[in-house]
Homo-oligomer: A and B are copies of this chain.
Amino acid sequence: MAGSTLGIIYRITTWGESHGPGLGVVVDGCPAGLSLTANDIQTYLDRRRPGQSHISTPRKEADAVEILSGTFEGKTTGTPISLLVRNTSQHSGDYTAIANCYRPGHADYTFDRKYGLRDYRGGGRSSGRETIGRVAAGAIAAKVLSEFGIRLTAYTRSIGPISINPNAFDPDAIRETVTAMPDKEASAMAEKFLADCMSSYDSAGGVIECVIDGVPAGLGDPVFEKLDANLAKAVMSVGAVKAVEIGDGTEVSTRHGSDNNDAFRLRNGRITKTSNHAGGILGGISDGSQIVLRAHIKPTPSIFSPQDTVNRDGEEITISIKGRHDPVIVPRAVVVVESMAAITLLDALLVNASARIDYLKNIYKN
């Protein structure tokens, strides 16, 4: 099925395999009149690029984006924006050993069962490189949202057992640390933890948090197009995510209503909440507070340690996965989670433009 398209108005369609000619995305429904250059997108792609630190795969990929359509004289025209990133660093030879076997924790087996065949080179469509299209589309979404004063900030909250100290939150550290943690001390500890993982041929997971400021109240639609439901889908659709939380998330199940409800009060004459357990969403609709979400990421399934598995011919074998892999994908996935949140929020903002007769009169009576 057509599983590579997401969104109602801001609709993105990604494509591409790890070792094919390239990857990309078509972004349809971007409003006309936005200033946009390749550099706006490249900045985001560079945040997910491999080969930038000792805790990321040593593969070097330029991942340079080309805008193929949808802009004219530096502005979006309202027509589809097609973005292309050519693959340049494929070492297909690295992967022939796994052509016939089912790597534990990967999608090799399920793709084979679903389609009867698969592009086994580097995971094909299930490779982490698939997120290039997401990030490129997220960069554009974030730029549109910034026009309305909406800002997204994602970061690593934990790697393995090492969590950031919320009281030491340093936003600049997100870009300065190799872990994307907003806490340099925690980051140093995480680096040490990861060095241990690598030396024992193993891998680690972690938690990514994304907060969104400046969101007007009223975004999201009741029942199935709730903002939290769509955020959950968007974030869970990223490979390796196994849990999604909104606001206080799993903690709410052990609370009392009297602890968990956020009281409304006035601040400077505006209605506001005195706490934000809800994470900025009530009844699936943004309430004007900061939106907060978390994604729990599993450890990289590709490890050097030997593992039991089965091959396509139905034989039990043991494999040791060679190649260039991240010991943890969390730092590079931070921008992916931020992008998915931006895409989802922008779609809700665009859809909401037609929710009220008075909104429409602002447009059609001008």
- Which B residues are in CB contact (< 8 Å) with A21? 66-69
Binds B, one of A52-60, A184-192, A356-364: A356-364
A83 nearest in chain B by CB position: B15
Contacts known (A28-B4, A107-B285, A205-B254); A75 close to B117, Cβ less than 8 A: yes
A286 nearest in chain B by CB position: B110
- Give A160 to B33 CA distance when docked, in angstroms: 41
In the complex, the count of this chain's copies comes to: 4
When the two chains form the complex, which single residue of B104, B107, B365 contacts A284, counting CB atoms closer than 8 Å? Answer: B107
Is A206's CB within 8 Å of the partner chain B?
Answer: yes
Is A302's CB within 8 Å of the partner chain B?
Answer: yes
Instruction: Say whether B117 contacts A217, CB under 8 Å.
Output: no
When the two chains form the complex, which single residue of B17, B66, B67, B356 contacts A79, counting CB atoms closer than 8 Å? Answer: B17
Instruction: Say whether A253 contacts B207, CB under 8 Å.
Output: yes
Is A62's CB within 8 Å of the partner chain B?
Answer: no
Is A102's CB within 8 Å of the partner chain B?
Answer: yes
Is A210's CB within 8 Å of the partner chain B?
Answer: no
- Which B residues are in CB contact (< 8 Å) with A248? 242
Instruction: Say whether B222 contacts A3, CB under 8 Å.
Output: yes
- Which B residues are in CB contact (< 8 Å) with A109? 217, 264, 271, 282, 287
Instruction: Say whether B205 contacts A260, CB under 8 Å.
Output: yes
Instruction: Say whether B205 contacts A299, CB under 8 Å.
Output: no
Is A179's CB within 8 Å of the partner chain B?
Answer: no
Q: Which residues of A in the span 270-315 have a Cβ within 8 Å of any Cβ on B?
A: 271, 274, 278-279, 281-288, 296-303, 305, 307-310, 314
Instruction: Say whether B22 contacts A308, CB under 8 Å.
Output: no
Instruction: Say whether A264 contacts B309, CB under 8 Å.
Output: yes
Q: Which residues of A in the span 211-226 have a Cβ within 8 Å of any Cβ on B?
A: 216-226
Instruction: Say whether B250 contacts A250, CB under 8 Å.
Output: yes
Binds B, one of A43-51, A166-174, A228-236: A228-236
- Which B residues are in CB contact (< 8 Å) with A353? 353-354, 359-360, 363
Instruction: Bits for A104-136, please: 1 = Cβ < 8 Å to B, else 0.
Output: 111101110111111100001110001000000
Instruction: Say whether B118 contacts A31, CB under 8 Å.
Output: no
- Give A239 to B102 CA distance when docked, in angstroms: 39
A147 nearest in chain B by CB position: B357
- Which B residues are in CB contact (< 8 Å) with A350? 354, 360
Instruction: Say whether A79 contacts B246, CB under 8 Å.
Output: no
Is A89's CB within 8 Å of the partner chain B?
Answer: no
Is A64's CB within 8 Å of the partner chain B?
Answer: no
Is A93's CB within 8 Å of the partner chain B?
Answer: no
CB distance from A359 to the nearest CB of B (A): 5
A sample of 27 cross-chain residue pairs with beta-carbon separation below 8 angstroms, ordered by A number, consists of A3-B225, A9-B354, A15-B28, A15-B82, A16-B80, A72-B117, A77-B119, A104-B264, A105-B257, A106-B282, A107-B284, A109-B287, A114-B219, A115-B356, A126-B283, A205-B252, A206-B253, A228-B237, A242-B279, A243-B243, A245-B250, A245-B296, A252-B296, A253-B297, A256-B299, A353-B360, A362-B362
- Which B residues are in CB contact (< 8 Å) with A256? 160, 197, 202-204, 299
- Give A230 to B3 CA distance when docked, in angstroms: 11
A340 nearest in chain B by CB position: B224
Instruction: Say whether B225 contacts A236, CB under 8 Å.
Output: no
- Sample of 13 further A-B pairs with CB below 8 A, known A77-B124, A110-B281: A2-B11, A13-B28, A15-B28, A21-B67, A29-B354, A72-B124, A84-B84, A113-B218, A203-B257, A242-B252, A245-B250, A259-B299, A263-B308
